[in-house]
Amino acid sequence: MIYDFVISFVVMRYTQSQPASAKLQNEFKELALRFGTYIYNLVIRKVNYIVSFINKDFTLIELVLYNLLF
């Protein structure tokens, strides 16, 4: 996923320096959307996991260990 973001950054730089085809612009938009969706899902998953920890009355140590592992 990080590679997609790097590629999209390169494509964005290329499209700013030269007039790009519509295909490249669409490709950049798709990659940016995928990266944004990935970050959003990662945050939502982490928040849901923390809330489930709190609801199950787990200790703070287990919560910290989870955050260190993931």
> 54-64, pLDDT tens digit by residue?
666 666 666 67
Please give the tally of structural domains in the chain.
1
pLDDT score for 43 = 82
41 Cβ contact partners less than 8 Å away, ≥ 6 residues apart: none
Q: What is the pLDDT of residues 1-44, one digit of tens each?
A: 566 666 667 766 665 655 557 777 778 788 888 888 888 888 88
pLDDT score for 2 = 61
* N-terminal to C-terminal alpha carbon distance within the chain: 16
Residues spanned by the domain of 22: 2-69
